[in-house]
Chains A and B, each alone.
Chain A
């Protein structure tokens, strides 16, 4: 409503303006009229959620929503009470659902032979399954599960987005992604995907990179003409054209990038942190998609994982840290090579 009225006002205001200019300069009247239609913008002047609330109401809204989401999360921690969909066994070639994680930072890690590697720490914060899309709905080939990541405030989400979260019974999420999943891995929406689901080795990731600007060309020329120009653009008279896909200056970054086949060194069950080998695209505190690898070298190692995901049994106590067998744990005495 606010948007519509504003549009009308602008139109009227613009009309008035045209009228004034028309009175001023008769020649410009027609030009002013045509400019009118081209320059109408839809200006939305919606209010933000706390603009018209009193202080007490604001704090009440925040507190009540926080409590409600805590209750929702606590309810979803034990999905076994909720008649989940039937769990099926792992078969070769089935794909599990992935996770959404936050990149915390990097740290060094040592193996039992004394080699040093670097790991990225990814924390899984409130990863819930939101929706199930069957094959026909998704793309006709595989089923998909929509998974959400970190919790976010509901005040800045549109109503359509909030609808999905309401149906799943889950607090609104900052990042919502889909994972392609084989049929026997479908999980009922609302299930909390636990990081323990990913104890196997080898993951694939996605992240959004910051923009870099122009990419330019590798600077491995011997000449000293000008250092950042592209140089030649291809062979001479025989093709007499520039090949498609020639590297030229252009937009770089701000695309989804994947790091494949990264080994998981350690999992911390208390804080839900996964320690993953090497670096991962994205800045600190960015949200990533984590899934099992499809790379042929790691397929044998991923046999028989917790499938379709790790369900928390009522009395089971997990050890606080799960380590890879080659990793040096700091409680052990110093190495004697």
Chain B
């Protein structure tokens, strides 16, 4: 009888090392109060003269859809993988993963845009969150970035938009703050699709010092509108509304 060497099984052929499955830890010790409160931005109605009844009817439909399809919490800058029904693909589904660069729309028409670079070609797909063709939404990496809108990644170096297609989900905690990724991105030489240095885009996540001279940055500041932050007509305080809607959504989802 000889000792089995590592990587051999009974008949002497080398086996592939299969790692043991990771144990799934369900933390029931954390109370609800410590869980992070997150209300998806499409639930918050925009400031318009629309009857609130319309929003409440739409919200009911959204909650019904969320009970069937789990739409997880994610932010702009997180990496998501989406499986969608596709009649022309083999297996009838197609899977796409990428960085979320934008979340738009309100109510049932809410959308998010995922960007990835595949075979050297940048690809952006805009998905509707409540479309019945979406079958699964996974968050591979939950993080925030310095900006709310990462459209400047189109003019940045490709390494910042690539997401490895074999990426494994990175575990994230359910409590506490969402990690903020403070990378500041290097850009390709100008011309860009938009003049990102201008203050109306309010971009924090670009390394302007590497691509623009201080004179150009100063010249861009001439388009600044410093009075806008004092404009009272543009104030839209949603804190009370958000709390109410969050409570309503949580009670409906737990039913």
Contacts and interface: CB of A to CB of B under 8 A. Distances in A.
Contacts of B57: 121, 268, 271, 273
A107 B108 contact: yes
A114 B132 contact: yes
B58 A331 contact: no
A201 B135 CA distance: 31
A104 B54 contact: yes
Interface in A185-242: none
Interface in A28-85: none
Nearest to A275: B57
Nearest to A320: B60
Interface bracket on B: 20 to 34
Contact of B65 (A105, A121, A330): A330
B134 interface: yes
Contact of A335 (B67, B128, B132): B132
Prevailing SS type, chain A contact patch: loop
Nearest to A329: B64
A105 B53 CA distance: 10
Contacts of A284: 48-51
B60 to A, nearest CB: 9
A334 B53 contact: no
Interface stretch (B20-28, B84-92, B233-241): B84-92
Q: Which 9 A-B pairs have the closest CB atoms?
A: A330-B64, A330-B65, A337-B87, A104-B54, A335-B132, A337-B85, A105-B54, A334-B135, A108-B109
26 contacts: A104-B50, A104-B51, A104-B53, A104-B54, A105-B51, A107-B58, A107-B109, A108-B109, A114-B131, A114-B133, A116-B131, A268-B57, A273-B57, A284-B48, A284-B50, A285-B49, A330-B130, A331-B68, A333-B68, A334-B85, A334-B133, A336-B92, A337-B85, A337-B86, A337-B87, A337-B133
Interface of B: 48-51, 53-54, 57-58, 61-62, 64-65, 67-69, 85-87, 92, 107-109, 128, 130-135
Given A110-B132, A285-B49, 12 more contacts: A104-B53, A108-B108, A108-B109, A114-B131, A114-B133, A121-B54, A284-B50, A330-B64, A331-B68, A332-B132, A334-B133, A337-B92
